[in-house]
Amino acid sequence: MDERKVMVPGINCGHCTRTIETELGELEGVRTVTASIATKEVTVHFGPPTSWAEIVARLEEIGFPPAGG
């Protein structure tokens, strides 16, 4: 099980955090997702078959691209 944190500057409200947590949580292999308004960070615990590239792609797809990418 991997844990990754990423900055997501677009997190501004509770709706943002719920959207991110719900959308990433639907990916097979994602165990937990926590999005923070205060730090603008998303923490994801995941394993196969989901890859970090798929998680980043989903963030971009739903309108919350990570900082620097």
Residues listed for the chain? 69
For tokens 């292999």, name the residue.
29
Is residue 6 helix, strand or coil?
Answer: strand
Q: What DSSP letter does each residue of 32-49 carry, written as one string?
A: EEEE-TTT-EEEEEE-TT
pLDDT at 2 over 90: yes
pLDDT at 68 (0 to 100): 77
Q: Each residue of 6-62: pLDDT tens digit?
A: 999 999 999 999 999 999 999 999 999 999 999 999 999 999 999 999 999 999 999
pLDDT at 69 (0 to 100): 56
CA distances from 33 to 5, 7, 55 (A): 10, 13, 11
Residue ranges and CATH numbers for the domains of the chain are: 2-61 (3.30.70.100)
